[in-house]
Structure 1
Amino acid sequence: MSSAAMHIARTGLDAQDTRMRVISNNLANVSTTGFKKDRAAFETLAYQTITAPGAASTADTKYATGLNLGTGVRVQGTARIDTQGALQQTGNSLDLALDGDGYFQVKLPGGQEGYTRAGNFSRSPEGLLVTSEGYEVQPGITSPPNATSITIGTDGTVTAQLPGQTTGTNIGQIQVASFPNPTGLQSTGDNYLRETASSGAPNMGIPGQDGRGNVRQGNLESSNVNVVEDLVDMIETQRAYEVNSKMISATDEMLKTVNQNL
């Protein structure tokens, strides 16, 4: 008697374990600013064709369905779900959220470009608009040291109010990056994504134009994780894992019966 059923059940255990890891990461980041949840995608492993459909069964007849035996399952990949998270008001003038599609561009160490939905920015000692790690937001925006307030419009226009002036001074323009295939961006941690061959090259432009989202000052985008949905997925994954475990136990009992009686 073959132990192929054990192997198939083992692939099921591995796949469900990976899915549980994805769900666990989603739930762990339920409070992470701008976080986008992931979904595990499954695919079948190769099939063994014992009898091909349409093959001759006798001189005058053919098999209608044939006999194909699957060899299990595996996780094909993970897909990021880029739905909009809820906007939370913070009252901080340098907290920015994107209401719609697109990403803020940030210069990472080594000159690489990173892309993020987390707009919890601040001002460096030099007046530059930077992330919490001190990475410069692109294109660079420098506010005067004596600015009394900073206003950022929905189109990304940055205006500084200076002492003695009745109108603000334009000091820069925040731009938003869009991609032909944003789901192809690679997650690198620290809320950053990087360009890949799958995502295509970034197209920088003004917020609110060509499908890009608007900038909302004094807001941050919450994680798009739905705790209830992920808890349901967690229970479903747990049950699937238990079923595959029972399949291994059942197959083991069958093999014991064969060994004891034959």
Structure 2
Amino acid sequence: MDALIYTAMSGAERALRGQQVHANNLANIDTNGFRATMELSTSRALGGYGYDDRHMSEMQANTVMDRTGTLKSTGRDLDVAINGEGYFAVQPPGGGEAYTRAGAITLDADGTMTVNGRPLLGEGGPIRLPQHTRVEIGSNGTVSIQTPGTADMQVVDKLKLVKAEGAELTKNAAGLLVARDNQALAADNTVAVQAGHLEGSNVSAVEEMVATMSLNRTFDVQMKLFKANDAMAEAGNRLIGG
């Protein structure tokens, strides 16, 4: 009976935490460039003498799905989407390097290109644009501008574009993607971008709803196990009490 309690408790906790992961995915179904979080359960032995046959279910939700989202045309010069595999590099608070598929670029007061308030990185660090009348982002990530009084486009910098498998990345507390080894990824010249477009979330509403329904059923089963354990405990007490 003691082992059954651990089984039911562990299973119920895993189901509840799994629902939180899928609820967060659904909440970001309209977030440009969002990468769905995947949840995986593993078995963990319970520490302490006499608990060798007790195991808990440990949920891991630190892997992202690298499926590509749908590209949407916006016609805006500063909107850019990754065409295929790859990520933009941004500078998170506190320094370092993080990665995102979001490409709705804005310019702050001093001309620094940012995505969701975080500086967009180029070959030499954050990209800062001088005064200009037009911006153009090439398919290889080059950023060109037309300065006032000129007709030619001049290359200012090049976006740092990287490539990594989903299993090589995890999300930090801010929801940005970072390398598991906390090292900066090398620029990859094979990554292509498409200006005037944004990538939608790669969350599938159907998949998330099915997963949530499955977890609801799992939680119901664990609650029935709790009730079954109570019934067995009561029967055992009656037998012992005569």
**TM-score range with shorter-chain normalisation?**
0.7 to 0.9
1:91 matched to 2:69: no
Please list the CA deviations of residues 189-232 of structure 1 after superposition, one character each: whole Å capped at 9, or x if unmatched: 444222332x75411133xx1xx3x1111111111110111001
Choose between structure 1 and 2 for higher RCO, CA contacts under 8 A separated by at least 6 residues.
2
Larger of the two Rg values belongs to structure: 1
Maintained 8 Å contact 1:116/1:191: no
2:49: which partner in 1?
none
Cα distance between partner residues in 2 of 1:260 and 1:35: 56
1:9: which partner in 2?
8
1:240 matched to 2:224: no
Paired residue secondary structure (1:41): strand
1:143: which partner in 2?
129
C-alpha change, 1:132 and 1:25, in structure 2 (3 Å) is closer
What amino acid sits opposite 2:212 in the alignment?
Answer: M
Residue of structure 2 aligned with 1:152, choices 137, 141, 159: 137
Cα distance between partner residues in 2 of 1:220 and 1:28: 19
Paired residue secondary structure (2:212): helix
C-alpha change, 1:186 and 1:77, in structure 2 (3 Å) is closer
Residue of structure 2 aligned with 1:103, choices 67, 76, 87: 87
What amino acid sits opposite 2:185 in the alignment?
Answer: P
Paired residue secondary structure (1:239): helix
The 5 Å alignment of 1:110-259 reads: 110-133=94-117, 135-139=119-123, 140-145=126-131, 147-179=132-164, 181-197=165-181, 201-206=184-189, 209=190, 212=191, 214-259=192-237
| Structure 2: stretches of 5+ with no match in the other structure | 47-52
Cα distance between partner residues in 2 of 1:23 and 1:251: 30
Q: Calculate the TM-score normalised by the size of structure 1.
A: 0.79
Cα distance between partner residues in 2 of 1:122 and 1:100: 23
Cα distance between partner residues in 2 of 1:104 and 1:27: 23
Maintained 8 Å contact 1:124/1:134: no
Aligned-pair RMSD on alpha carbons? 2.5
